[in-house]
Amino acid sequence: MTSRTAAATARATVYGYPRQGRNRELKKAVEGYWKGRVDADTLRATAAELRRSNWQELAGAGLTEVPTGDFSFYDHVLDTSVMLGAIPERHRAAVDADRLDGYFAMARGTQDVAPLEMTKWFDTNYHYLVPELGPSTVFTADSTRQVAELEEALALGLTARPVLVGPVTYLLLSKPAPGVAADFDPLTLLDRLLPVYAEVLADLRAAGAGWVQLDEPALVQDRSPAELNAAERAYRDLGALTDRPQLLVASYFDRLGEALPVLAKAPVEGLALDFTGAGALNLDALAAVGGLPGKRLVAGVVNGRNIWINDLEKSLATLGTLLGLADRVDVAASCSLLHVPLDAGLERDIDPQVLRWLAFAKQKTAEIVTLAKGLALGTDTIAAELAANRADLASRAHSALTHDPAVRDRAAAVSEGDARRSQSYAERAVAQRAHLGLPRLPTTTIGSFPQTGELRTARADLRAGRIDTAGYEERIRSEIREVVSFQEKTGIDVLVHGEPERNDMVQYFAEQLSGYLATRHGWVQSYGTRYVRPPVLAGDISRPEPMTVRWTSYAQSLSDRPVKGMLTGPVTMLAWSFVRDDQPLADTARQVALALRDEVDDLEAQGTSVIQVDEPALRETLPLRAADHPAYLAWATQAFRLSTSGVRPDTQIHTHMCYAEFGDIVQAIDDLDADVISLEAARSHMQVARELAAHGYPREAGPGVYDIHSPRVPSAKEAAALLRKGLEAIPAERLWVNPDCGLKTRGWPETRASLENLVAAARTVRAELGSSAS
């Protein structure tokens, strides 16, 4: 096929779309089901209507092929485990008794059965449920849901393409099941798994699928020869099947690297590649392997992870180059649009000119359609769109919002010494122990306490003018009094104020920093029914006035025990925002760090002796390729230290991280030079404690003993057992006792019971250690 013919046949498509609905209908329906207010039939009907609405919106926008199978009640990786029959033994009875309740039990756990472990989906802020596999795992195909959703779309008269997690990525994301040797490699199950995929593919073909997309994002990471060989075998075998649809193997989030020639030679009909960010390197790599003669290329030229408008002319140039490298070139986003909000057109509080810089899922879909039209019919057919796009890009480039000389001058003057504490950790530890007077195994929480309905109502009443600021602030003070009183009565050693005034750990600060924009409808899924509204980091960052000092000081006035100041660190402020893409991330991080440094200094000046600067996103933002790690970790750890290094030696700096694999960044954790770190560890059975010990981590640490992402209440016995496991790796004088994460999403009854058990566990283990502390 000539490049002209390839252009004429260009289609527009996406790999996935936001699941939640315009008004987060899915969240409300699922949580209603959990609480018994919504029955299973109503929940399923709500889901079907959301799928129908999404497909019709995409088709109406001009997509010629819509995805199916991207929708999920909780998580698409969990859906894959169900499709493959990979149900953990402890959950099998529940799944057999009621498939929907059993599904949610795997995600959330029950009082008696622990859920699957949850961790970050590559370098995004989406969380998936980790499959548990072992030598005895038996895979069985169950394509019921995948076939049903395909049939729903076909019944609407649409061309539909089922999207599945590919077999290699599924195994590479899995972990050994409990009781299985830690060195078990799930990839050894590939030959057992492929016939099950073959059965699912045959079912989808019989249901009317012309194409099926198999997502293999794990192949953009550094892969061993054995792993690349597994990918070659997987797609050799699947490609050789006779009873199957055409196969589109998709990768995203980075360049394919060594896996590109493997997939290019595979007997499949198409590849989908990311051509944004680091994925832009796929262009030269594709040319180097001779392109994809006789195959379909789906070109991800619209960034599916940020919310900035596309440079249409630049993307058209990329697409033009690709025309000579494949039999057919289609246009798509770089990845599923799950990672961006639904519709920028819903925003009413953002300046109209600035709003023109933003593209959410609906706007990105329109960009994809425009690019496909321009590619197929010529740029004259999209001349008006190109002119408007040029004007909007120029407006952003020359805006005063994106250039503040005072901020830039201060950042340029930072020296390496500004990012170093005045004394070593060993010296600081002596001063802090004398100043704080804490017992062995000190107890604390991560920061937030339950955000009750009353708090959310008070916040809504303030926005609506039903109460004034004084009334709202009295409600906040009342909540802080309750939180502090509960912690004192329970026996927690280092208190928090509970963060009742905060809507979100990033948005709260973003709303008080110059250079950030807030949205009203910019919801994206973090996990399950947890949705967040990432703020938009649009310009240069500064702090006009203190952000947290008043509420922290008020909480401290209520107790003689230390109350932690609670801040969100610079890397997380970037990672959990839609961050500007017009300057290096390191420059933006330095601006945020300086704003936070001012806040840290003000907290200390007002008498706060323990200050926690959370960096849960440090690991998730780690580039997917090892060659890119050093540069990222250098600026990320420096930004944290810049935020925290202006304090006295006896002021204790904490940090917190959760729900990621930490083994490969232990040195970076060490380089943060925080006095205390708390980490998620309950679901992974203290794995991170062992990783810290193996590294020789010299500071204090609190591996979590309470999994806050499950409604179950851990017993004191269970928490004590985890604490003893932690002591096998970390000595008692450096071990803290805390939950995995903040308690914002939990209810008060389970929070009270769980923290009471946590304190009881600490007292039990202290007694076993022969400590006189109580």
Could you list the active site residues? Answer: 709
Residue 512 and residue 583 in contact, taking contact as beta carbons nearer than 8 Å? no
Burial class (CB in 10 A: 0-12, 13-18, 19+), 435: middle
Helices (H) and strands (E) in the chain, counts: 29, 21
Q: Which three-class secondary structure state does DSSP give residue 378?
A: coil
665: its two tokens: 């960044």
Joined together, the tokens standing for residue 595 give: 């704003």
**Of 316, 255, 364, nearest in space to 16 by CA:** 364
Give residue 290's identity as a one-letter amino acid code.
G
Question: Can you list the pairs that 283-286 forms with residues at least 24 positions away whose Cβ atoms lie under 8 Å?
Answer: 283/318, 283/321, 283/322, 285/255, 285/256, 285/257, 285/260, 286/260, 286/322, 286/325
Q: Residue 246 pairs with which residues in a beta bridge?
A: 211
Residue-wise burial string across 720-730, b where 16 or more C-beta atoms lie within 10 A, e elsewhere: bbbbebbbebb
End-to-end CA distance of the chain: 78
Say if CB 125 and CB 533 are below 8 A apart.
no
Collapsing DSSP to helix, strand or coil, 338 comes out as helix
Torsion of CA 671, 673, 679, 684, to 10 degrees: 40
Q: Is 717 exposed, middle or buried (0-12, 13-18, 19+ CB in 10 A)?
A: exposed
Three-state SS for 505-522 is: CCHHHHCCCEEEECCCCC
Q: Which of helix, strand or coil describes residue 495?
A: strand
Query: Whole-angstrom Cα distance, residue 561 to residue 62?
Result: 61
d(CA 215, CA 274): 12
Residues 24, 523: Cα–Cα separation, whole Å: 8
CA distances 246 to 214, 403, 591, Å, are: 11, 49, 49
In whole angstroms, what separates CA 96 from the centre of its chain?
31
Q: CA 445 → CA 186, 449, 677, 756, distances in Å?
A: 35, 9, 12, 12
Q: 153, 66 in Cβ contact below 8 A?
A: yes
Cα separations (Å) of 699 from 671, 689, 734? 11, 12, 7
Query: For residues 544 and 562, is the Cβ–Cβ distance under 8 A?
Result: no
Sheet with 578-579: strands ordered across: 514-517, 536-542, 578-579
DSSP state of 617: T
| H-only helix segments in 403-492 | 405-412, 425-436, 453-464, 469-490
Q: Is 651 left (phi over 0), alpha (psi -120 to 50) or beta?
A: beta
CA 53 to chain centre: 26
The β-bridge partners of 132 are 175
- At residue 326, the 3 state secondary structure works out as strand
Neighbours of 752 (CB within 10 A): 16
- 37 dihedral zone (left: phi>0; alpha: psi -120 to 50; beta): alpha
DSSP 8-state symbol, 247: E
Q: Which of 612, 607, 613 is nearest to 592 (CA)?
A: 613
